[in-house]
Amino acid sequence: MTTTSPATDAFTAPGRFWRGNLHTHSTLSDGVLEPEEVCRRYRAEGYDFLALTDHFIGLFNYPIADTKPFREAGFTTILGAELHSGPTSNGSLWHILAVGLPEDFAPANAPNFFPVEGAETGPEIAKRAVDAGAFVAIAHPQWSGLTLADARSIEAAHAVEIYNHGCAEGCDRPDGFAIADLLLSEGRSLTMVATDDAHFSEPDHFGGWVMVKAEENTPEALLAALKAGHFYSSQGPEIRGVSIGEKAVEVDCSSVRSVIVQGHGQAATAVHGQSLTRARVPLDRFAKSKWLRVTVIDHAGRRAWSNPYWR
């Protein structure tokens, strides 16, 4: 799908950064707060936008939350849902994040949180969501127990959910990097999103978000920027620029203790220091890597992640 390059990344695209959460639940499915209150809390915490993505299953009457009434100056919403069909290779229901769905998106045959015979496959419902205009991410791969073959089958996905704060707090399975990096090394052009997956039944909110570069804080502009890869993900630190040369990557950021560049296989190099706001990371180990990405870590252990760059 999207290919991110130094000429078209989040840091050189026009506009400004907008902070948003792409994975959230309410009382329309298994969350504990009404949609209006969920939106109010994210707005109060300084978020610029929110996607309410309730579970799109028959148990909850296949909800796509109408959050348009909760938009106001400085805060907008994008319609979406967490789509389900199945099964995955371990027999569980697929969880696929779809942001930017039309309100009339047709349900799959997913009556409850278990797969049924003859239902759409995960790849089929993901493709249908992309065709309907959504930004689609493979949700919480570690929590779902996805295999590489599972993830590989979702050919329509724009992104992999590489950090899920609810899965971090609820079961210590927040990670999607192993799956994402292997897909990148197979040549899949994917981006990476951090999310909350907030239900507000545990401390699963305000812990991971995307910073989207767009000229306007509107659903249309944000969705276009997400599809273009004009964003990075964070738990707190800011990435302000990434410049890739022949011999090194230069990273500008808020104050951090570590700047790390990762690539194919064992390719990874870190630079450590005190209150780093700029770092030069050599690329000696990246001769065989067609892609690379950047992680920064602050003194509290919070991270921010760039999207992959193709060399």
The whole-number pLDDT of residue 311 equals: 87
**Residues 254, 198 within the same domain:** no
Q: CATH number for the domain including 195?
A: 3.20.20.140
The whole-number pLDDT of residue 7 equals: 53
**Is the pLDDT confidence value at 1 over 60?**
no
* Tokens 């994917």, located at residue: 190
**Residues 69, 207 within the same domain:** yes
Instruction: Give a yes or no: residue 245 inside a domain.
Output: yes
Question: Domain range holding 84?
Answer: 16-234
Number of domains in the chain: 2
**Residues 157, 301 within the same domain:** no
Structure tokens at 233: 């993900």
**Residues 54, 202 within the same domain:** yes
DSSP state for residue 112 in the 8-state scheme: B
**Residues 161, 282 within the same domain:** no
Instruction: Give a yes or no: residue 111 inside a domain.
Output: yes
The whole-number pLDDT of residue 3 equals: 42
Q: CATH number for the domain including 247?
A: 2.60.40.10
- Separation of alpha carbons 243 and 25, rounded Å: 37
**Residues 161, 143 within the same domain:** yes
pLDDT tens sequence across 74-132: 999 999 999 999 899 999 999 999 999 999 999 999 999 999 998 999 999 999 999 99
Instruction: Give a yes or no: residue 259 inside a domain.
Output: yes
The whole-number pLDDT of residue 62 equals: 98
Q: Mean pLDDT across the chain, nearest whole number?
A: 96
- Separation of alpha carbons 130 and 125, rounded Å: 9
**Residues 73, 188 within the same domain:** yes
Instruction: Give a yes or no: residue 1 inside a domain.
Output: no
**Is the pLDDT confidence value at 2 over 90?**
no
**Residues 107, 192 within the same domain:** yes
Instruction: Give a yes or no: residue 295 inside a domain.
Output: yes
CA-angle at 297, arms to 296 and 298, nearest 5°: 125
**Residues 52, 171 within the same domain:** yes
* Tokens 């089929």, located at residue: 124
pLDDT tens sequence across 38-47: 999 999 999 9
**Residues 257, 230 within the same domain:** no
- Separation of alpha carbons 134 and 136, rounded Å: 6
**Residues 135, 253 within the same domain:** no
- Find residue 11's DSSP bridge partners: none
Instruction: Give a yes or no: residue 8 inside a domain.
Output: no
Give the torsion sign (CA, 182, 185, 190, 195). Answer: positive
pLDDT tens sequence across 149-158: 999 999 999 9
Instruction: Give a yes or no: residue 7 inside a domain.
Output: no
**Residues 230, 245 within the same domain:** no
Identify the domain boundary among 199, 219, 234: 234
